[in-house]
Amino acid sequence: MGRSIKKVVSVLVDNEPGVLARITSLFGRRGYNIESLTVSATNVKSVSRITIVIEGDEHMLNQMIGQTSKLHVVQDIFTLNYERSVVRELLLVKVAADESNRGALTEIANVYKAKIVDLSIGSMILELTGEQNKLDGFLSILSEYSIMEVCRTGITALSRGAINNEED
């Protein structure tokens, strides 16, 4: 087995019931784990975008991309070049908060440019959008406090410029 690498794969598919199940079951049947998965509408009503982050050796990843491209619901599939793409993830984190730590949590949120989207008696929910390492760093800092819940969307990405910047 070769060196393990990570790829962000963008799949444009027909917007119809069961498409996501067909794509993910293809990976599952072959024993491959999807690290991150997001599905969204596109500017064309009949097309959805599935963004998949997978890790494995080069041969396995190319094989999975090739097999996925053969599904009749797949209109286009390409691997994004990370450096020539905008890659983001959304994080919501609920932290225990009272008078003793709200100020410190607000300062941390400000440093990371996170939004306070809910403030309740005993907790606050912070929202942060960015690259995975930024979100990981934010969670690391917040680990000094009592994290009650975490929800992450997974990666979504678009290539910069007018054309898809596929990996070379």
Q: Is the pLDDT of residue 85 over 70?
A: yes
- d(Cα 49, Cα 52) in Å, to the nearest integer? 10
Tell which of 13, 45, 80 closes a domain: 80
pTM listed for this prediction: 0.83
Are 61 and 99 in the same domain? Answer: no
Are 91 and 148 in the same domain? Answer: yes
* Bridge partner list, 51: 10, 38
Q: What share of the chain is helix, strand, coil (3-state, %, to 5)?
A: 30, 45, 25
Kindly state whether residue 165 falls inside one of the protein's structural domains. no
Are 76 and 13 in the same domain? Answer: yes
Are 91 and 150 in the same domain? Answer: yes
Overall average pLDDT of the 90-104 stretch: 97
Q: Is the pLDDT of residue 163 over 70?
A: no
Q: Is the pLDDT of residue 165 over 60?
A: no
Average pLDDT, the chain: 91
Question: 153 with 6: CB under 8 angstroms?
Answer: no
* Bridge partner list, 4: 57
Domain that includes residue 73, residue range: 4-80
Query: What pLDDT does residue 167 have?
Result: 56
Q: How many structural domains are present in the chain?
A: 2
- CA 35 to the chain's CA centroid: 9
Q: Which of 26-30, 50-54, 114-118 has the lowest mean pLDDT?
A: 26-30
Tell which of 35, 55, 80 closes a domain: 80
Percent of the chain with pLDDT over 90: 74
Are 76 and 144 in the same domain? Answer: no
Q: Single out the residue of 86, 93, 89 nearest to residue 129, CA to CA.
A: 89
**DSSP sequence for 25-78:** HHHHHTTPPEEEEEEEE-SSTTEEEEEEEEEEEHHHHHHHHHHHHTSTTEEEEE
Tell which of 17, 49, 80 closes a domain: 80
